[in-house]
Structure 1
Amino acid sequence: MSDHSEAPVAPVAAYEPPYYVAVFTTVRTQDQSGYSETNARMEDLVKDVPGFLGMDHAQTPGGLGITVGYFRDADALTEWRSNAEHRAAQKRGQAEWYQSYTLHVAKVERSHGFTRAAG
């Protein structure tokens, strides 16, 4: 997804299980024409899906990108997967932006988090 340099540096909160994650791991091509605009649109669009909980992103210096989307239930994930604009972006990604990718979907059965107190 995008570089997210303006995004806060904090992971998505731990939610009460069960919920679902979609882990999208990518290596992008050299030509990224139109990618940033489409990515921003997808990030705005997914927020409108009832049951969308949040998204984490990471990018290695070598070019491996990982995006994890969190969804309250399978219906929310199905709604996102079947969204017409999202489907069109997926096709364009395969045709232009991704050298390779994998998608893993899992049901989260355990979740916890930690935040260091300020001060």
Structure 2
Amino acid sequence: MSDRSEAPVVPVGAFEPPYYVAVFTAVRTQDQHGYSETAARMEDLVKDVPGFLGMDYAQTPGGPAITVGYFRDADALTQWRCNAEHRAAQMRGRAQWYQSYTLHVAKVERSNGFARAEDPQSPRAD
């Protein structure tokens, strides 16, 4: 949602299914005035939704931005979709920030993950 150049690259972990994902893929316009502030506000706001599990974000320079939101159940996802501030941001996005976008919502039936254990022999950069 927001520009995350300072954030470490760590994907959201696997959750016990079932849960829901909302995959938002967008191509942005040149006019991004106010986007970063609104995206940061949306990121703070969605965290208050009971059942919000986390979010992943990626963008290729000059390419699409992909945001994946994870929600415990359909009610949590509906609460986010219907939030008045979120709806206003969606309208502004269509009017100003997005050239195009797609939204895919899916129920996750299987989930797993992997994290490499830190090698105790490798030097650490502290």
- Whether these two folds match at TM > 0.5 is yes
Q: Which stretches in structure 1 are left out of the alignment for 5+ residues?
A: none
Partner of 2:4: 4
C-alpha deviation, 1:5, in angstroms: 1.1
C-alpha deviation, 1:2, in angstroms: 2.2
Distance in 2 (CA, whole Å) between partners of 1:30 and 1:24 is 19
Distance in 1 (CA, whole Å) between partners of 2:42 and 2:82 is 13
Distance in 1 (CA, whole Å) between partners of 2:33 and 2:83 is 22
Amino acid at match of 2:96: E
Q: Which stretches in structure 2 are left out of the alignment for 5+ residues?
A: 120-126
C-alpha deviation, 1:63, in angstroms: 2.2
**Percent identity of the aligned residues?**
84
Runs of 4+ in 1 over 3 A off after TM superposition: none
Contact 1:3 1:59 in 2 (8 A): no
Distance in 2 (CA, whole Å) between partners of 1:3 and 1:88 is 20
Q: CA RMSD in A?
A: 0.7
Partner of 1:30: 30
C-alpha deviation, 1:61, in angstroms: 2.1
C-alpha deviation, 1:66, in angstroms: 0.3
TM, length-normalised to structure 1:
0.98
Distance in 2 (CA, whole Å) between partners of 1:60 and 1:36 is 16
How many residues are treated as equivalent by the alignment?
Answer: 119
Structure with the greater alpha carbon radius of gyration: 2
Partner SS, residue 53 of structure 1? strand
Distance in 2 (CA, whole Å) between partners of 1:2 and 1:77 is 19
Partner SS, residue 86 of structure 1? helix
Partner of 1:79: 79
Distance in 1 (CA, whole Å) between partners of 2:58 and 2:37 is 19
